[in-house]
Amino acid sequence: MKICAFGVPTLNVGKHNLKDPRLDIIDDLVEAEKKTYAQVEVLGEEQTLQADVIVVGRDRFPDLILHDLEFVEKRLERDPQPTERELLLRIRRELEEERTLYQTGLSSEELQVIASHGFKTHKPVIVASESELDNPGELLLKAFREAGYICFLTVGGKENRAWPIRSGTTAWEAAGAIHSDIQKGFIRAEVISYKDLVDAGGETEAKRAGKLRLEHKSYVVQDYDIVSFRFNKPK
Protein backbone atom coordinates (compact mmCIF):
# COMPACT_ATOMS: atom_id res chain seq x y z
CA MET A 1 0.00 0.00 0.00
CA LYS A 2 1.03 3.61 -0.55
CA ILE A 3 1.45 6.40 2.00
CA CYS A 4 1.86 10.03 0.97
CA ALA A 5 4.21 12.01 3.23
CA PHE A 6 2.95 15.59 3.06
CA GLY A 7 5.39 17.86 4.83
CA VAL A 8 6.83 15.03 6.93
CA PRO A 9 10.62 15.11 6.50
CA THR A 10 11.22 12.04 8.67
CA LEU A 11 9.37 9.80 6.19
CA ASN A 12 11.69 9.19 3.26
CA VAL A 13 10.25 8.43 -0.17
CA GLY A 14 10.65 4.77 -1.14
CA LYS A 15 9.96 1.26 0.17
CA HIS A 16 9.90 0.67 3.93
CA ASN A 17 9.59 -2.41 6.10
CA LEU A 18 6.57 -2.25 8.37
CA LYS A 19 8.29 -3.27 11.59
CA ASP A 20 5.39 -4.56 13.63
CA PRO A 21 6.82 -5.97 16.89
CA ARG A 22 4.28 -8.81 16.77
CA LEU A 23 6.24 -10.41 13.93
CA ASP A 24 9.37 -10.25 16.10
CA ILE A 25 7.51 -12.11 18.85
CA ILE A 26 6.31 -14.79 16.43
CA ASP A 27 9.81 -15.12 15.00
CA ASP A 28 11.12 -15.92 18.47
CA LEU A 29 8.46 -18.64 18.89
CA VAL A 30 8.50 -20.27 15.44
CA GLU A 31 11.76 -21.37 13.86
CA ALA A 32 12.34 -20.20 10.29
CA GLU A 33 15.29 -19.35 8.07
CA LYS A 34 14.36 -15.68 7.78
CA LYS A 35 11.87 -13.02 8.86
CA THR A 36 10.09 -10.83 6.30
CA TYR A 37 8.09 -7.75 7.28
CA ALA A 38 5.23 -6.38 5.22
CA GLN A 39 6.29 -3.43 3.07
CA VAL A 40 4.73 -0.05 2.38
CA GLU A 41 5.71 2.59 -0.14
CA VAL A 42 6.10 6.25 0.85
CA LEU A 43 5.29 8.79 -1.86
CA GLY A 44 6.15 12.48 -2.11
CA GLU A 45 3.55 15.17 -1.51
CA GLU A 46 3.02 15.70 -5.24
CA GLN A 47 1.57 12.15 -5.40
CA THR A 48 -1.34 12.52 -3.00
CA LEU A 49 -3.83 11.20 -5.55
CA GLN A 50 -1.93 7.90 -5.88
CA ALA A 51 -1.77 7.23 -2.13
CA ASP A 52 -4.09 5.16 0.07
CA VAL A 53 -3.53 7.48 3.04
CA ILE A 54 -1.89 10.85 3.69
CA VAL A 55 0.38 11.61 6.64
CA VAL A 56 0.72 15.36 7.12
CA GLY A 57 2.54 17.55 9.63
CA ARG A 58 0.21 19.70 11.72
CA ASP A 59 1.65 22.88 10.22
CA ARG A 60 0.92 21.67 6.67
CA PHE A 61 -2.62 20.37 7.27
CA PRO A 62 -4.20 23.73 6.32
CA ASP A 63 -2.55 23.41 2.89
CA LEU A 64 -4.54 20.23 2.18
CA ILE A 65 -7.78 21.84 3.29
CA LEU A 66 -7.07 24.97 1.25
CA HIS A 67 -6.39 22.95 -1.90
CA ASP A 68 -9.79 21.25 -1.67
CA LEU A 69 -11.57 24.51 -0.80
CA GLU A 70 -10.10 26.20 -3.85
CA PHE A 71 -11.18 23.27 -5.98
CA VAL A 72 -14.76 23.55 -4.64
CA GLU A 73 -14.87 27.27 -5.44
CA LYS A 74 -13.69 26.68 -9.01
CA ARG A 75 -16.35 24.02 -9.56
CA LEU A 76 -19.08 26.26 -8.13
CA GLU A 77 -18.04 29.06 -10.49
CA ARG A 78 -18.82 26.73 -13.41
CA ASP A 79 -22.49 26.48 -12.37
CA PRO A 80 -22.68 22.68 -11.91
CA GLN A 81 -25.88 20.64 -11.95
CA PRO A 82 -28.11 21.02 -8.84
CA THR A 83 -27.11 17.64 -7.35
CA GLU A 84 -23.41 18.40 -7.63
CA ARG A 85 -23.87 21.99 -6.48
CA GLU A 86 -25.67 20.93 -3.30
CA LEU A 87 -22.95 18.39 -2.56
CA LEU A 88 -20.17 20.92 -3.18
CA LEU A 89 -21.79 23.41 -0.82
CA ARG A 90 -21.97 20.74 1.86
CA ILE A 91 -18.32 19.83 1.28
CA ARG A 92 -17.32 23.49 1.51
CA ARG A 93 -19.01 23.82 4.91
CA GLU A 94 -17.15 20.76 6.18
CA LEU A 95 -13.80 21.96 4.87
CA GLU A 96 -14.32 25.40 6.43
CA GLU A 97 -14.63 23.56 9.76
CA GLU A 98 -11.29 21.84 8.95
CA ARG A 99 -12.92 18.45 8.42
CA THR A 100 -11.62 16.36 5.55
CA LEU A 101 -13.85 14.83 2.89
CA TYR A 102 -13.10 11.44 4.40
CA GLN A 103 -14.57 12.63 7.70
CA THR A 104 -17.82 13.90 6.16
CA GLY A 105 -19.29 10.42 5.76
CA LEU A 106 -20.32 10.83 2.14
CA SER A 107 -22.44 8.00 0.74
CA SER A 108 -21.20 5.82 -2.13
CA GLU A 109 -23.60 7.67 -4.43
CA GLU A 110 -22.24 11.04 -3.36
CA LEU A 111 -18.67 9.86 -3.79
CA GLN A 112 -19.57 8.79 -7.31
CA VAL A 113 -20.70 12.33 -8.13
CA ILE A 114 -17.24 13.71 -7.30
CA ALA A 115 -15.21 10.64 -8.31
CA SER A 116 -13.47 12.45 -11.16
CA HIS A 117 -12.59 15.51 -9.06
CA GLY A 118 -9.05 16.07 -7.82
CA PHE A 119 -9.76 16.26 -4.10
CA LYS A 120 -6.86 15.39 -1.82
CA THR A 121 -8.70 14.69 1.45
CA HIS A 122 -11.23 12.08 0.28
CA LYS A 123 -8.91 9.42 1.76
CA PRO A 124 -7.71 8.99 5.37
CA VAL A 125 -5.54 11.89 6.56
CA ILE A 126 -3.34 11.50 9.63
CA VAL A 127 -2.28 14.77 11.21
CA ALA A 128 0.99 13.95 12.94
CA SER A 129 2.12 15.66 16.12
CA GLU A 130 5.76 16.52 16.93
CA SER A 131 6.30 13.36 19.00
CA GLU A 132 5.00 11.15 16.17
CA LEU A 133 7.28 12.81 13.63
CA ASP A 134 10.26 11.60 15.67
CA ASN A 135 9.13 7.97 15.39
CA PRO A 136 8.64 7.21 11.67
CA GLY A 137 8.27 3.47 12.25
CA GLU A 138 5.25 3.96 14.52
CA LEU A 139 3.84 6.55 12.13
CA LEU A 140 3.96 4.07 9.25
CA LEU A 141 2.16 1.46 11.36
CA LYS A 142 -0.53 3.98 12.27
CA ALA A 143 -0.97 5.02 8.63
CA PHE A 144 -1.21 1.37 7.59
CA ARG A 145 -4.03 0.72 10.05
CA GLU A 146 -5.86 3.98 9.30
CA ALA A 147 -5.85 3.11 5.60
CA GLY A 148 -7.82 -0.05 6.43
CA TYR A 149 -5.04 -2.61 6.12
CA ILE A 150 -4.08 -5.58 8.30
CA CYS A 151 -1.58 -8.43 7.97
CA PHE A 152 -1.79 -12.20 8.13
CA LEU A 153 1.23 -14.43 8.74
CA THR A 154 2.69 -17.55 7.20
CA VAL A 155 5.25 -19.18 9.45
CA GLY A 156 7.89 -21.88 9.67
CA GLY A 157 10.33 -23.46 7.24
CA LYS A 158 12.00 -20.94 4.99
CA GLU A 159 10.24 -17.82 6.24
CA ASN A 160 8.13 -16.13 8.89
CA ARG A 161 6.34 -13.53 6.81
CA ALA A 162 3.69 -10.82 7.20
CA TRP A 163 1.36 -10.33 4.22
CA PRO A 164 -0.54 -7.03 3.89
CA ILE A 165 -4.24 -7.22 2.96
CA ARG A 166 -7.23 -4.95 3.30
CA SER A 167 -9.40 -5.42 6.37
CA GLY A 168 -12.39 -7.57 5.43
CA THR A 169 -10.42 -9.80 3.05
CA THR A 170 -11.62 -13.41 2.85
CA ALA A 171 -9.36 -16.45 3.16
CA TRP A 172 -9.79 -17.12 -0.57
CA GLU A 173 -8.72 -13.56 -1.42
CA ALA A 174 -5.81 -13.71 1.04
CA ALA A 175 -4.56 -16.86 -0.69
CA GLY A 176 -4.22 -14.79 -3.86
CA ALA A 177 -1.96 -12.34 -2.05
CA ILE A 178 0.61 -15.13 -1.91
CA HIS A 179 0.09 -16.68 -5.35
CA SER A 180 -2.75 -17.01 -7.84
CA ASP A 181 -2.24 -20.79 -7.98
CA ILE A 182 -3.00 -21.06 -4.25
CA GLN A 183 -6.19 -19.08 -4.75
CA LYS A 184 -7.29 -21.12 -7.77
CA GLY A 185 -6.68 -24.43 -6.01
CA PHE A 186 -7.96 -23.32 -2.59
CA ILE A 187 -9.26 -26.17 -0.42
CA ARG A 188 -9.21 -24.68 3.07
CA ALA A 189 -7.28 -22.40 5.40
CA GLU A 190 -5.76 -23.67 8.63
CA VAL A 191 -5.85 -20.76 11.07
CA ILE A 192 -4.41 -20.02 14.49
CA SER A 193 -5.06 -16.61 16.00
CA TYR A 194 -2.05 -14.54 17.00
CA LYS A 195 -3.09 -14.51 20.66
CA ASP A 196 -3.62 -18.27 20.77
CA LEU A 197 -0.19 -18.96 19.30
CA VAL A 198 1.57 -16.56 21.66
CA ASP A 199 -0.34 -17.82 24.70
CA ALA A 200 0.52 -21.41 23.79
CA GLY A 201 4.19 -20.57 23.30
CA GLY A 202 4.50 -21.70 19.69
CA GLU A 203 2.74 -23.14 16.65
CA THR A 204 3.12 -26.80 17.63
CA GLU A 205 1.94 -26.06 21.16
CA ALA A 206 -1.09 -24.15 19.85
CA LYS A 207 -2.06 -27.11 17.64
CA ARG A 208 -1.73 -29.50 20.58
CA ALA A 209 -4.00 -27.21 22.58
CA GLY A 210 -6.67 -27.47 19.87
CA LYS A 211 -6.31 -23.86 18.72
CA LEU A 212 -6.01 -24.63 15.00
CA ARG A 213 -9.26 -23.99 13.10
CA LEU A 214 -10.25 -25.14 9.62
CA GLU A 215 -11.80 -22.26 7.69
CA HIS A 216 -13.44 -22.07 4.27
CA LYS A 217 -13.22 -19.55 1.45
CA SER A 218 -15.60 -17.04 3.03
CA TYR A 219 -13.74 -16.75 6.34
CA VAL A 220 -12.76 -13.13 6.98
CA VAL A 221 -9.09 -13.05 7.91
CA GLN A 222 -8.33 -11.28 11.20
CA ASP A 223 -5.31 -9.13 11.94
CA TYR A 224 -2.20 -11.25 12.47
CA ASP A 225 -3.94 -14.58 11.97
CA ILE A 226 -1.39 -17.31 11.32
CA VAL A 227 -2.62 -19.05 8.17
CA SER A 228 -1.58 -22.16 6.25
CA PHE A 229 -3.38 -22.73 2.96
CA ARG A 230 -4.24 -26.16 1.64
CA PHE A 231 -4.73 -26.21 -2.10
CA ASN A 232 -4.69 -28.40 -5.19
CA LYS A 233 -1.54 -27.80 -7.19
CA PRO A 234 -2.06 -27.01 -10.88
CA LYS A 235 -1.33 -29.85 -13.26
Q: What are phi and psi of 51, to 5 degrees?
A: -90, 155
Nearest Cα to Cα of residue 127 among 137, 142, 141: 142
Whether 161 and 179 have beta carbons less than 8 Å apart is answered as no
CA neighbours closer than 13 Å in the CB half-sphere of residue 185: 12
Amino acid, res. 74: K
Judged against a pLDDT cut of 80, whether residue 235 lies above it is answered with no
Judged against a pLDDT cut of 80, whether residue 115 lies above it is answered with no
Could you write out the DSSP letters of every residue in 126-145?
EEE-HHHHT-HHHHHHHHHH
Whether 102 and 48 have beta carbons less than 8 Å apart is answered as no
Domain ranges of the chain: 2-17+39-146, 149-231
Reported pTM: 0.89
What pLDDT digit, counting tens, does each position of 150-192 carry? 999 999 999 999 999 999 999 999 999 999 999 999 999 999 9
Segment (H or E) for 3: strand 2-6
Mean pLDDT of 142-153: 96
149-231 is classed CATH 3.50.50.60: no
* Burial status of residue 191 (CB atoms within 10 A of its CB: 0-12, 13-18, 19 or more): buried
CB under 8 Å to 196, separation ≥6 — which residues?
206, 209, 211
Nearest Cα to Cα of residue 71 among 11, 6, 116: 116
Mean pLDDT of 116-145: 90
Judged against a pLDDT cut of 90, whether residue 117 lies above it is answered with no
Please state, in angstroms and rounded to a whole number, the distance separating the CA atoms of residues 132 and 124. 17
